[in-house]
Structure 1
Amino acid sequence: MGMRSALNWALVGLTVLYPLVVYATIGRVAPQWLALLIVVLAVGRALIAQQKFWWLVAAGAAALGLAAWLGNDPLMVKLYPVWVNAVLLAVFGYSLLHPPSVVERLARLQEPALPASGVLYTRKVTLVWCLFFVLNGAVAAITTLWASDSVWAFYNGLLAYVLMGCLMGGEWLVRRHVRQAAPGI
């Protein structure tokens, strides 16, 4: 594993653990330092990935970080998962309006000659992900604004990832069934 890959995986791991770090340190560490952490993580991911998506995430992290820094407000550091869902929704939604969809692009990495039925299927899957990001972002916002820190950390640091994994696994099972019924997808 190269240095760049190892650094990327470390940043992914730290980003996944971010809600738990916030939960463990909120009230003990000034929000400004937590804000600095998320900005460093987001900018680091953007520098390594060199993708527009991560630059959007980093810009939002910087805005939340600045608000947390200036206002000494822990709410701002807890809004990061809401921002990430909003950016993902924007990216996936934009790809529906300006094809190919995100899921089609991913599918073409394995099957460059994706048939029209596969394009339609990937479009539907992209739409399902958009719905997921709306719902997940809404729950992230609700837990940020009205739930305890422990509920926020549980949802955003564990349950949201479990739900995402269930959606991925469920789509994989559906895709297998659809491919058996209509080869070429």
Structure 2
Amino acid sequence: MLRNTLLAVLLLCYPVLAYFGLQHWSPRTMALVLLALALLRACAGRRQGWWPMAAAAALPALAGLVSDRALPLKLYPVMVNLVMLAVFGWSLLGRQSLVERMARLREPDLPPAGVRYTRRVTQAWCLFFVVNGTLAALTACFASDRVWALYNGGIAYVLIGAMFGGEWLLRRRVMARSDHA
């Protein structure tokens, strides 16, 4: 448990670690670090289905290892957004969206209005991952390393938190309205 938490924190902090690491080491060295983190994550989380995130880290790490360039390493946040978009988007093709499945853990008899709402929230997250992934790609390709690290290691997490918080507030309003209906 502690090992998984530590690995998750290291991968979350990756943009800041990469920024400082690239100040002192070659991209190839940082690629080895990211590759090691990806392999540890894949091994530690193989039962929980974490392999897509491990692959998202391993692909840019391998490209950075071969090329000895920083750009592939800076594309890791783009890959994470692509994986998240795929997971949330794929769920929209099935009977239950990912957000609906999570909601049913708390409320197994989710009413039809709740099902519609959770589908909309899943769609909103898909849009978020498209926008966030695009901004991550733009900062990787066109911004300084400092701006890239600031956006991907800080601002993006604030935006994720705002999305969670905003959805929570909206859900409270929607539930209060449906309770009075």
Q: TM-score range by the shorter chain?
A: over 0.9
Paired residue for 1:23? 19
Within 1, Cα distance between the matches of 2:108 and 2:38?
A: 31
Contact 1:18 1:157 in 2 (8 A): yes
SS at match of 2:127: helix
Paired residue for 2:81? 85
Aligned-partner residue type, residue 183 of structure 1: D
Contact 2:35 2:62 in 1 (8 A): no
Which of 113, 120, 123 is equivalent to 1:117? 113
Residue correspondence of structure 1 range 14-93 to structure 2 within 5 A: 14-49=10-45, 50-52=47-49, 54-93=50-89
Paired residue for 1:175? 171
Paired residue for 2:125? 129
Within 2, Cα distance between the matches of 1:86 and 1:121?
A: 23
Is 1:154 aligned with 2:150? yes
Paired residue for 2:90? 94
Aligned-partner residue type, residue 148 of structure 2: W
Within 2, Cα distance between the matches of 1:175 and 1:121?
A: 9
Within 2, Cα distance between the matches of 1:89 and 1:119?
A: 20
Q: Deviations over 1:74-112 (max 9, x none)?
A: 111110000000110011011011131111111111111
Within 2, Cα distance between the matches of 1:156 and 1:64?
A: 15
Within 1, Cα distance between the matches of 2:40 and 2:102?
A: 23
Aligned-partner residue type, residue 145 of structure 1: C
Aligned-partner residue type, residue 8 of structure 2: V
Contact 1:96 1:123 in 2 (8 A): yes
Unaligned stretches of 5+ residues in structure 2: none
- CA gap of 1:70–1:161, structure 2 versus 1, over 3 A, is same
SS at match of 1:73: coil
Give the RMSD, CA atoms, in angstroms. 1.5
Instruction: Quote the offset at 1:63 in angstroms.
Output: 2.0
Q: Deviations over 1:92-141 (max 9, x none)?
A: 01101113111111111111111111111000000000000000000000
Deviates more, 1:75-84 or 1:110-119: 110-119
Within 1, Cα distance between the matches of 2:95 and 2:69?
A: 40
Contact 1:15 1:41 in 2 (8 A): yes
SS at match of 2:179: coil
Identity %: 50
Instruction: Quote the offset at 1:60 in angstroms.
Output: 3.0
